[in-house]
Chain A
Amino acid sequence: MTDVFAEAMTDILDDEDLGQDAVYEENTIRVLFQNGFVVVNGVETTAPIAECLDTDVTGVAHGDTITVSGVTYNIIGIQPTGSGTTKLILSGDSHG
């Protein structure tokens, strides 16, 4: 990640209107959180995603948890963007 992009992402995550605090591994990190509408198997639900800096979630694994706005989610997907950030695919349910 170039310094310019790193700075831009850090600015976006730190922006009070865009980013928000989350707790991962007992550390407070900044994330871009989305909880968009999706239809799964004919059922309306939402699919939460938290995007954060790679460096904030080093070693992240499926089954880890992250807390956003007081809600604890299970991490069921890990999608590095290749630009210094990682999208964490979240669920209210664990893998089961």
Chain B
Amino acid sequence: MADTIREQIIAAMITRFQGIKKASGYKSDLGNSVHHFRGSDYDVTELPALNVVDGRNDIGPATSTQFDNMVDITLEIKVASGETTYKTAYDIIEDVYRAIAVDDTWGGLALDTLPGSDEIETEHAGKIISGITIKVQVQYEAGKWRF
């Protein structure tokens, strides 16, 4: 059985984010460490790293047979780059938005991707480590009782 539209969208996102490399014109190499629903902590050598979490999905009727889906996507990013961690955080947020903007329909799978918010939190213990949370919503259409 084919993957659901939601799974295909997430797969397309992961592939797109894996392309975030300095060699491709981005400001960071975030694409070297991209995960989906990662539950474990990171080793510093894995950073910068991005974890894609697709959570709540709100569903409403579009037609009698098609339904609009609005899935919340949280992009959890970790960064540790010494004194310039905050600058790296800015660069990474810019990279992620730039990658989404390449095609925010994810190859035509979605109707649209909507910006939500971004947030940087920094802690200093042993080294400076920032957590970045970017929230977006992906709107797509699927058949009744499809996902």
Q: What residues make up the interface of A, taking CB atoms closer than 8 Å to B?
A: 38-48, 76, 89-96
Contact = CB atoms under 8 A, between A and B. Distances in A.
A-B pairs, 8 with minimum CB distance:
A96-B83, A41-B131, A47-B126, A45-B126, A41-B129, A93-B128, A47-B125, A40-B129
B120 to A, nearest CB: 11
Given A40-B123, A41-B130, A93 B83 contact: yes
A89 B125 CA distance: 8
Contacts of A94: 83
20 contacts: A40-B123, A41-B122, A41-B131, A42-B76, A43-B42, A43-B44, A43-B47, A43-B80, A44-B44, A45-B80, A45-B126, A47-B126, A48-B126, A76-B124, A89-B125, A90-B126, A91-B127, A92-B126, A93-B83, A93-B128
Contacts of A45: 44, 80, 125-127, 129
B84 A96 contact: yes
B131 to A, nearest CB: 4
A96 B82 contact: yes
Interface of B: 41-44, 47, 76, 78, 80, 82-86, 121-131
A45 B131 CA distance: 14
A67 to B, nearest CB: 16
Nearest to B131: A41
Given A43-B44, A44-B44, A45-B44, A93 B125 contact: no
- Give the interface SS of chain A, mostly helix, strand, loop or mixed: strand
A23 B121 CA distance: 33
Given A76-B124, A92-B126, 12 more contacts: A40-B126, A41-B131, A42-B41, A42-B131, A43-B43, A43-B44, A44-B41, A44-B44, A91-B125, A91-B126, A93-B127, A95-B124
